[in-house]
Amino acid sequence: MDHVAICVAILLWLVRPQDWLNGFAGVGFMKYAMLVAVLGLWSRSRQMNWKLFQTPADYAVTIYLVWIVLTTGEYVDTAKEVLPFAVFYFATALSQDTARRLRQFLNCWVAGLCVVTAFALSTHFGGEFAAGSADLTEYFDGRLALNTWIFNNPNSLGHGVVALVPLAYVWLWWRRSWMMKLLAVGVIYVAGYCVFLTQSKGAYLCGAAAFGVVLVFRKRLIVQVFLVILAMTAGVAALKLLPRMDTMSASEDGIAGRLVIWQMAHNAMVNTNTGEGWKKFEAWVTIPKQGVVRKATHGSYVNVGADLGYPGLFLFLAVLYCGVRTVLQARPPPDDAEAGRLQRALLSLIASYGASAWMIDRAYHTDFFFIAGAVAAFHRLMSVPVRQEGRSERGPDEPSVLVPVTALAVAAHGGASAMGGLKLAMISSAGDGSPSVGTARGLGEPDDPGPSQSGTWLSWRKIGVIDVLLIYGLFELVLYTWVEIMTHFISF
């Protein structure tokens, strides 16, 4: 029940039926899904591990939410508002406790984005599934928008749908049958066309960045270098051909306005150090014919910095860092397509979110905690010890053992319930203990390093000193980029 509730919750979050179904306006579908998820976890508490803090992300998310409450001051009211974030995070991390469940959750994510894309394109072709979308599109001078709370302007719609492009590649194309690849081509084309109609410059850049990250992941160095060079030459040239990309300069009205707001947010962070409080920073600008109006910060990093100060931005980046390190450090076997697909799908979502965070306000959206929770669930699955069995055939110094190499099958009670069977591969260990797996690999994929020394496919239990230093380096990089964009906007 908990798993179904979380799957329904991500669909409700993306599709938002209360925004377009008559008679359901204001209905708290997400609240009901949250309650069902909690009840579901409680009902099977004897059958699962209820330990909340098992991964570094568990601590990072908790401290981040506690800081939101402490720095805002209105402790009780703020705690009530951020409590759903904590519930959805831990419910996702705990309920997706098998590979099958996590796969179904990501299936729902892909399906939700496909529905959003279909709804948006229906407006373009005269259908208008979400009433009011045509008028909204006309208001934005023909740039496609969807009349729901999340996607009610071209930029938010573009950034939401563009995440489907790299996600569909890894979920429907990578190591799939030709029928699934045909479906992937269709989904990518439709999603790309939807983003094209939004004319969102930020969405174009976000999609290119996220897709590039997915393409270079786990490739050999020479292939990565080639892909980066190709992206910086042909890729940049192709981006310039897209609508409105010729106005990427600081003199363009929209960009100039954002730079002013970023300066205001930066001043708020510098002057207070701890920020103005959750959702308390407001940017008011003067617009001809409109007067003084309130504008969004147009950037999650900027928004968090202004609201929660330096510590809040550091903790926000710590959550992202935990997700990135988890998917990068996890080493599922190269012939385990299931684990590899889950790993790449999560990387795709993190990359899309991280890139979009420079351009739209998504820091306080529930999908941030869904992503973090899904990565934490993946971390739990990959941290299950790999069971070794069999007898040595080469003597005590050079053992040869049978090891289950379907990592997520091992995590799911031996694999029968999650993967439909357990793959075994003969791993020959040399005297130094380093495994050698004779399996087929994709083009440009590096050799499989095998399980970690701890006997798991992911050995990272807590945030250490090196992690703190790396997070601080990421923190300084974000601050440096923020200031550089404000003072020397990069155009191309």
Looking at residues 347-366, what average pLDDT do you find? 95
Same domain, 402 and 446: yes
Q: How confident is the model at residue 109 (pLDDT cuts 50, 70, 90)?
A: very high
What domain range is 77 assigned to? Answer: 56-95+252-382+471-492
Mean pLDDT for the stretch of residues 32-56 = 85
The model's pLDDT over 130-146, given as tens digits with 9 standing for 90+, comes to 989 999 999 999 999 99
Match 């591990």 to its residue by tokens: 49
**Is residue 151 one of the residues assigned to a domain?**
no
The answer to whether residue 252 scores a pLDDT higher than 90 is no
Looking at the structure, tell me whether residues 365 and 488 fall in a common domain: yes
Distance CA 332, CA 456 (A): 9
Based on the domain organization, do 266 and 302 belong to the same domain? yes
Residue pair 260/297 in contact (Cβ under 8 Å)? The answer is no
88 found inside a domain = yes
pLDDT at position 445? 52
211 in any annotated domain: no
369-379 confidence digits (pLDDT tens)? 999 999 999 99
Cα-atom radius of gyration of the chain, to the nearest Å? 23
pLDDT-wise least confident of 47-51, 93-97, 249-253:
249-253
Is the model's pLDDT at 429 over the cut of 50? Answer: no
Mean pLDDT of 355-371: 95
Q: Are residues 340 and 481 in the same domain?
A: yes
Is the torsion defined by CA of 386, 390, 395, 400 positive or negative? negative
Same domain (yes/no): 265, 337: yes
Give the chain's domain count. 2
Query: Average model confidence (pLDDT) for the chain?
Result: 84
Residue 22 counted as domain residue: no
Whether 272 and 300 share a structural domain: yes
322 and 280 inside one domain: yes
In a domain, 484, yes or no: yes
CA angle 27, 86, 159 (to 5 degrees): 70
Residues 161/109, Cβ–Cβ less than 8 Å: no
Q: Give the span between the Cα atoms of 318 and 59, in whole angstroms.
A: 10
447 in any annotated domain: yes
Find the mean pLDDT for residues 147-166.
95
**62 falls within a domain:** yes
pLDDT tens digits along 59-72: 999 999 999 999 99
373 and 297 fall within a common domain: yes
Residue 122 in any domain: the answer is no
Residues 366 and 268 in one domain: yes
Instruction: Output the pTM of the full model.
Output: 0.86
Q: At what angle do helices 154-162 and 201-216 cross, to 10 degrees?
A: 10
Per residue in 307-329, pLDDT (tens digit) is: 999 999 999 999 999 999 999 99
Is the model more confident about 220 or about 283? 220
Answer yes or no: do 394 and 376 share one domain.
Answer: no
Same domain, 373 and 436: no
Same-domain check for residues 351 and 476: yes
Residue 300: the pLDDT is: 95
